[in-house]
Every structure is written in structure tokens, then in C-alpha cells.
A = this chain, B = another copy of it.
Amino acid sequence: MKIRKNYILAPGPTPVPPEVAAAGAWPMIHHRTPQFCAIIKEVAQGLKVLFQTQHPVYFTASSGTGVMEAAVANLMSPGETMIVLECGKFSERWSEIGKSFGCNIVPVKVEYGKVVSPAQVEEALQQNPKTKAVFMQLSETSTGCVLDVEAIGKVVAKTDALLAVDGISGVGAEPCYPDTWGIDCLLTGSQKGVMLPPGLGFISVSPKGWKAVEQSKSPRYYFDLRAYKKALDASDSPYTPAISLLYQLKEALKIIQNETMEGMWARHAWLAKATRAAVKALNLELFAERPGNILTSIKIPAGVDGEKLVKTMRDDLGVTIAGGQGSMKGKVMRIAHLGYMDRFDITTAISALEIALKRQGFPVKLGAGVSAAEEILWEDPK
């Protein structure tokens, strides 16, 4: 059987650097020991850099959805009103979680591919003056849009409402300053910009947010942030932590701090720019109204079978990108440039896209996209 190399350019899981992958195989040490406390201390400091916050960042053994539940269950009480900026599958999840916890949901909904504007948020807050919190995404992974968190933060700050931001695909790729942007709760998962396998959630809460945590009447145990706070204050975790993933986190945070957050953002912006130059050169169209550094979503052109395209790239060429989810299935493809990514990941993805398009008879000049990408990538990111 022919050797075929595999590449992953999906918006999570993302590739894991080899030294991070290897760290997961370190022997188990017990989590209630001074030896493990030292690891927690080190990652707690690194997580503050990752989050660009002065407040503690708690880690959970869960996927990103787990910390989304933590945000809802800790900030909200049953019957309270939450505004949700619905612009894709993951923002809709905020509403699903809120419904499960008996909250009153006010969705501010836009078409997939569009973003909710600060003016729309302002209007929703005026119409719902008793809103407890606004829930939004930094990056809506399903459409490739990045929302204007800074501007929305200013709007929310004029009210008593809290602002909770799902940064699951955004943190590490897109600038985000929770402490100065008025974010009361920021969260992310491990399998995106943090370059780890999935299985860890991260969440931080502002002092204003903590008042809500203390007052919340929502049933919660595993995701009760009060237990995580009490534990982290003692460099501990409330339940058995995902030890191997924490070993890996320690290594990944070293890489992140070496590159610096500004360097991470610049690299992601550079990869995104190159990808979009290639898209244009191939006469394809962007799907997202406000694309970010995380991924580039592209409309499937007429005459092309979108699902088949993604399958050809993955199963025949070994290059995994993401298709569209839900009603976007077959209409969108999503190329991520997220996490442990460098220039030749982009040229590989564009090359595979060109080949897959040609195999469907789509008129494509082989190498045209790669050429355009190289025009950006021949220099280093600024």
C-alpha cells in the first residue's frame, strides 16, 4: 500500500507540535503532590498570558462545550434573561445551554456568514433592560466570522449586563483583551490555538462576573467554578485533572510564550492573508462577512460538489479541511490556519484544493492559488 501523508487543516482539532505530543506520554504522577502542584503553578501563570488577563484562568477536564456550560450555569440563574448573538452553529449552542438551564433567551439572529453588529446589541439591551448577560463568540467557527468583541464590549459596559465570550477557536489566533474590553467571562478549549489534543477547557471570570457566580441559583457541581477557584488558589484542582493533557499544556504554553501573543496573532493574520489571496486567485468567493485569522470559509462554486470536494481532499489526497455544518453542508468549505501552522501548511492546502477542483472539472490553473499565497508567504509575518 502506497504511503500517504496526512495533514489536518480543520478548525479543531489542530496539529499538535511533536514536543507537545511527546509530553503526553510522560509517566503519571499523582495530582495531589507538591510535584504536580508545581506544574499547576506553571500552567496557571502561562494561561494568564494566553488569556491576556490578570485574573485566574481555571482549567477543566472537558471539551469546550463543558466550559460554555460552566459560563451559563455560573453566571445565570433560572428565569434570568440572556441575550445571545446567534450567527452560527456554535452561538446557537449558547441558547441551547441557556434553555437547558431555564434561562429566558433573547436571540439576536443574523444569517449564517454575517455578524451581529454593536448597534444590534445596543438595541437588544435597550429592549431588554433586565438582561443578566450577553453571550457571544469571538470567532464563530461554523461560518468563519470574527465578531467585533471590543465594540460590543463597550456597548455592554454601558449597562449592568455581563459579557461572556466563547473564544474556543479565537483565543491564540485573534487579538482579545478581556480586562480592557469589558469581557466578564472568557473561555476556550485545548484543541484550537493552544495546539493540544481536545479534552481541556479554560475559563476566566472578571471580578464583576464573580459576583454573579456567587449568587447564581443554577444547579451545578462538576462545572461549579467556586470549586475550581478554591482549588486553584492552592495550586490544586477540584477533581482528578487530565494529567497528560496538563503535561502537554505546560509544553504548549512554553512555545506560546516564546512566540509571544503578538507573534501568534501576526502569524495567524499572515496565514489568513495568504489563504485569501489564493482564494481570490482561484476565482472563489469568501463566505464570511467578517473573516478572521482562524479559518477561511469559501463558498462552493456552482458546478462543484462540495461534500465530494472535501472527501477527495481528505480520503484521496490526505488533506483534511472542514465542510459546512447543518444547512451550510455542501455549500461551504473551511480551511483553518489555526494553531501549529506554518507557511507550507497553507501551500499544501491550496495545492490540494486546486487538485480536487481540477478532478471535478472545475476550471482551475494549477498552481495559481499557490503562487498568490507565496506572494504573501515569501516574507516572514510582520
Contact = CB atoms under 8 A, between A and B. Distances in A.
A234 interface: no
A69 B240 contact: no
A66 interface: yes
Which of A6, A13, A240 is the most central at the interface, judged by chain B CB atoms within 10 Å of its CB? A240
A222 interface: yes
A332 interface: no
Given A239-B65, A243-B191, A25 B21 contact: yes
Interface residues of A, number: 58
B30 A15 contact: no
Given A199-B245, A240-B64, A13 B25 contact: no
Contacts of A101: 219, 221
A232 B66 CA distance: 18
A54 B238 CA distance: 33
A168 to B, nearest CB: 9
A224 interface: yes
Interface in A3-41: 6, 8, 10, 12-16, 21-22, 24-25, 27-31, 33-34
Interface string A56-78: 00000111111001001100001
A61 B196 CA distance: 14
Nearest to A224: B100
A28 B242 contact: no
Interface string A212-228: 00000011111110000
Interface string A72-99: 1100001000000000000000001100
A182 interface: no
Given A97-B221, A101-B219, A222-B69, A244 B24 contact: yes
A13 B240 contact: yes
A353 interface: no
A377 to B, nearest CB: 23
A320 interface: yes
A238 to B, nearest CB: 8
A222 B62 CA distance: 9
Contacts of A61: 61-63, 66, 198-199
A186 interface: no
Nearest to A78: B219
A197 interface: yes
B63 A241 contact: yes
B96 A221 contact: yes
B240 A63 contact: yes
A28 B197 contact: yes
Interface string A190-220: 0100000111000000000000000000111
